[in-house]
Amino acid sequence: MSLAKRIIPCLDVDDGRVVKGVQFVDIRDAGDPVEIAKRYDEQGADEITFLDITATAHERDTMVHVVEEVASQVFIPLTVGGGIRSIEDIRTMLNAGADKVAINSAAIFNPGFVKDACDAFGSQCIVVAIDAKKVSQEGEPNKWEIFTHGGRKETGIDAVEWAQKMQELGAGELLVTSMDRDGTKIGFDIELTRTICDSVKIPVIASGGVGELSHLSQGITEGHAEAVLAASIFHFGQFTIKEAKQAMQADGIEVRL
């Protein structure tokens, strides 16, 4: 008996509705976040992540209500990401019922923010989201860099070094998304996932590219991730979380069923 590998459905939320864009462009409406969260809880989701994809001030209030509503009905861990820029933003989300927040671009503008956040609330609730793109050419050693603004803006920061730095600053977990794979449905960037997982002590969630159930197992067995995150394969009823866990169990992975 040991720790189960986790499946985390991700709900991209825009103005109180769940959406999922293909590489953040073609956005389709997949419904009400509270109903979807309840459905995933019933199916056995290990956690749920909400990503506020626009994160304007008005959006923030909408998101707080969504989290409050979900947290009073769904008793599994909830993570909120998107536009988390200040200690006050974190406090607001935790008070609304979130268990963790995912910090992304605010960490890049000010890495000290991650340390301040961990000191204030504890590492257990601070997830750093890393959006990485491969920058090495065919035949060169692998190299990935951090991109912001939905993968459009390069920062020149090495993704693996960044992951280690975030661990040093106190992050409790990393959410690693391949911007090359996000929305493609061809599977995780396994080399990216494995390189980061093997270079840190903290748990890593693999994200970006899941299109079929075998991809989830690959993230664990080949990518060495502790958890896998997916959105569209669950939102449109293509697979249930339970089916995904059964497939992982059949691949010899310990899951909570």
Partner 1 sequence: MSQRLVAVVDYGMGNLRSVSKAAEHAADTNTKIIVTSHPNEIEEADAIIFPGQGAAKACMKALLDTGMIHPIQKAAKEKPFLGICMGLQVLMSHSDENDGVDCLDVIKGNVKHFDLDANPELKVPHMGWNQIHQTNEHPLWHNIPQDSRFYFVHSYYVQPENTDYVAGLTTHGETFASALSTKNLFAIQAHPEKSAEHGIQLFKNFLQWNGQ
Binding site for partner 1 (CB under 8 A): 1-6, 41, 46, 71-72, 75-77, 94-97, 99, 121-125, 172-173, 201-203, 226-227, 256
Q: Which is nearer to partner 1, 100 or 181 (CB)?
A: 100
As beta bridge partners, residue 145 has 133, 158
Q: Give the residue from 199, 124, 188, 198 showing the smallest Cα distance to 165.
A: 199
Q: How many helices and strands, by DSSP H and E, does the chain display?
A: 10, 12
Q: Which is nearer to partner 1, 33 or 97 (CB)?
A: 97
Tell me whether residue 12 is one of the annotated catalytic residues.
Answer: yes
Q: Shortest distance, CB of residue 84 to partner 1, whole angstroms?
A: 17
Q: Which is nearer to partner 1, 94 or 157 (CB)?
A: 94
Q: Shortest distance, CB of residue 119 to partner 1, whole angstroms?
A: 8
d(CA 177, CA 97): 25
> In sequence order, what DSSP letters do the residues of 177-245 get, joined into one string?
EETTTTTT-S---HHHHHHHHTT-SS-EEEES---SHHHHHHHHHTT--SEEEESHHHHTSSS-HHHHH
For residue 85, what is the DSSP state?
-
Catalytic residue among 46, 131, 182, 189: 131
Q: Shortest distance, CB of residue 64 to partner 1, whole angstroms?
A: 12
Q: Shortest distance, CB of residue 255 to partner 1, whole angstroms?
A: 9
Q: Which is nearer to partner 1, 76 or 135 (CB)?
A: 76
The catalytic residue positions are 12, 131
